[in-house]
Amino acid sequence: MPRWISDEPGEEAALLEAVGIPSVDALFSDVPKKARIGRMGIGPGREEPDVVRDVDRLLDRNRPLARFATFLGGRVACRYAPAAVDAILSRSEFYTAYTPYQAEASQGMLRALFEFQSLWVELTGLDVANASLYDGATAAGEALLLCRRVHEGHRFLIPASLPWEEKSVLANYASGPGLRVEEIPYDARTGRLDLEFVRRTVASKDVFGVLADVPNGFGHLDEGVLDLRSAIGDVPLVVAADPLSLSVLEPPGDYGADVVVGEGQGFGVPPAFGGPLLGLFACRREYMRQAPGRIVGASVDAEGRPAYTLTLQTREQHIRRSRATSNICTNQSLVALAFVVYATVVGPRGLATLQTTLAERARTLATALGGIDGIAAPRFDAPYLGEFTLELTRGTSLSFLDRLRRRRILGGHALADPRPSAAPQAERILVAATDSVGEKEIQKYAAAARAWSASGGRP
């Protein structure tokens, strides 16, 4: 059995001398300093029993999500997953073939991925979907790169209301090729995109793509998205869409989207400290060979039986790196399987019913909160489905949410960008209705909010 214990200092020094490098840090000199995280602050080695005891003490501080009334909004959804999802995911034939490197040995997984692609194609109204990406934010980043490959320019337009986390990912994607990500202003009353700004900017002939999200980062539906195609001409249009909303809304492909991306975690996967997530990606047929990742296709074998294969793999592991469309070298097969199982078990009518139910609960919550002094709910005069934004006119979002958390209520997601370089923003919270909360939990939220208001907005 080979040793797995790390090298002794003397061995490390010998290795560095052999390759002509003065230190381990020098190995990473090509990485910009601003991209490094520095030392992780891990102390010297300790005995295993001591480490286990410390870890157990940390784990005892956890409070399971099920003990809270949950109104968390944002791209990571809190929805009930039928038991059938875990039952199917736990089958060994799926676990052992979760990534189809040997296509002939994983026909079941390949068929599941083909059905996953077909489902996303049906929801988006586009022609081709890939076998998934890491998460919704990286899917948007890959869409940015696709747009640049098919259209000239250096500027990519995104909504100012887009979550700051996704803005950060897109900025990282754009930094390497020297591209610019610019924000589209929104109307202060409705939250709608400023289409005149879009028209003026596109007229400069330096815009290679435009992204819109449905619903937008405030949880509302921007009807102006339907007019984007006419506003931008032949510039590629990317729509970041919530898959559940597409069960009741018009497919983005029908109003001119060239690429549709999304976050699929809410279909069968619970939130778990930020992952695992699921990137959804679909595009028009003419952009198929520009799509990142891998695409599963249906065919027949030598005996005429149905067979599935990796039809296209436009990634650096399989083709010359200079021709690759992405350095993403795998996909989220197991989470994609959860997505398609969830959608199949719930069914198209069930998905639409769930979205309708969540919309009704969101309106009940907004009505209960809107009459409380110090809270504007919903903040924007625009239609919404299962999420909306509230704004506090006193106190801070973090203190408000902390007060609710002490009452075992997860009251939403603070929208302010917490990074030191971010400009000050209004105290806004994205609130979501989930299928785990009913009238009782809504009234509990409203009571806690009234108590906060009565205290003058103090923590």
Angle, CA 252 vertex, CA 250 and CA 258 arms, to 5° = 160
How far is C-alpha 109 from the geometric centre of its chain's CA atoms?
23
pLDDT, position 100: 60
pLDDT, position 81: 92
- Paired with 310 in beta bridges are 296
Q: Which residue pairs, CB below 8 angstroms and at least 24 apart, start in 282-286?
A: 282/120, 282/121, 282/124, 282/126, 282/127, 282/128, 282/129, 282/130, 282/253, 283/126, 283/127, 283/128, 283/129, 283/146, 283/258, 283/259, 284/126, 284/127, 284/128, 284/253, 284/258, 284/259, 285/127, 285/128
Asked whether the predicted pLDDT for residue 7 surpasses 70, the reply is no
Measured between alpha carbons, how far is residue 300 from residues 127, 305, 436 in Å? Answer: 21, 5, 44
Interval 38-61: pLDDT, tens: 777 777 778 999 999 999 999 999
CB-side neighbour CA atoms (13 Å) of 167: 19
**Superfamily classification of domain 65-79+347-454:** Aspartate Aminotransferase, domain 1 (3.90.1150.10)
Pull the structure tokens for residue 9.
């200092």
Residue owning tokens 């990282």: 172
Measured between alpha carbons, how far is residue 225 from residues 157, 248, 430 in Å? Answer: 13, 16, 20
Enumerate the domain spans of the chain. 65-79+347-454, 83-342
Q: Within 10 A of 251 (CB to CB), how many other CB atoms are there?
A: 18
Q: What percent of the chain has pLDDT over 90?
A: 69
pLDDT, position 393: 92
Residues 6+ apart with CB under 8 A from 277: 76, 134, 135, 136, 263, 264, 265, 269, 332, 335
**Residues across the chain:** 459
Residues 6+ apart with CB under 8 A from 56: none
Residue owning tokens 């979907």: 129
Rg, the chain, Cα only: 24
Residue owning tokens 């909010």: 449
Q: Where are the alpha helices (DSSP H) in 176-327?
A: 195-202, 228-232
More confident of the two residues 445 and 96: 445
pLDDT, position 314: 67
Asked whether the predicted pLDDT for residue 139 surpasses 60, the reply is yes
Residues 6+ apart with CB under 8 A from 169: 137, 138, 140, 141
Residues 6+ apart with CB under 8 A from 324: 314, 315, 316
Interval 23-32: pLDDT, tens: 888 888 888 8
The DSSP bridge pattern shows strands 180-184 and 155-159 to be: parallel
With CA atoms as reference, report the closest residue to 173 among 219, 218, 211, 131. 211
Measured between alpha carbons, how far is residue 210 from residues 10, 164, 177 in Å? Answer: 55, 17, 17
Asked whether the predicted pLDDT for residue 69 surpasses 90, the reply is yes
- For residues 169 and 144, the answer to whether their CB atoms sit within 8 Å is no
pLDDT, position 329: 75
State the average pLDDT for the chain: 91
How would residue 37 be classed by pLDDT, with cut points 50, 70 and 90? confident
Asked whether the predicted pLDDT for residue 316 surpasses 90, the reply is no
- For residues 242 and 215, the answer to whether their CB atoms sit within 8 Å is yes
- In angstroms, the CA 295 to CA 309 distance is 9
- For residues 279 and 117, the answer to whether their CB atoms sit within 8 Å is no
CATH 2.40.30.170 fits 83-342, yes or no: no
Q: Within 10 A of 439 (CB to CB), how many other CB atoms are there?
A: 11
How would residue 282 be classed by pLDDT, with cut points 50, 70 and 90? very high
Query: Which of 97-101, 275-279, 320-324 is predicted most confidently?
Result: 275-279
pLDDT, position 1: 41
Q: Within 10 A of 169 (CB to CB), how many other CB atoms are there?
A: 19
Residue 4 main-chain phi, psi, to 5 deg: -115, -5
Rounded mean pLDDT, 355-371: 95
- In angstroms, the CA 391 to CA 430 distance is 9
SS3 string, 298-337, reads EEECCCCCEEEEEEEECECCCCCHHHCCECCCCCCHHHHH
pLDDT, position 105: 60
- In angstroms, the CA 315 to CA 172 distance is 19
- Paired with 156 in beta bridges are 181, 209
More confident of the two residues 104 and 242: 242
Pull the structure tokens for residue 149.
């490959």
More confident of the two residues 240 and 275: 240
Residue 57 main-chain phi, psi, to 5 deg: -65, -40
Amino acid identity of residue 205, one-letter, is K
With CA atoms as reference, report the closest residue to 75 among 189, 214, 185. 214
Asked whether the predicted pLDDT for residue 155 surpasses 70, the reply is yes
More confident of the two residues 318 and 48: 48
More confident of the two residues 271 and 137: 137
pTM: 0.88
Rounded mean pLDDT, 367-389: 95
With CA atoms as reference, report the closest residue to 218 among 433, 410, 432. 432
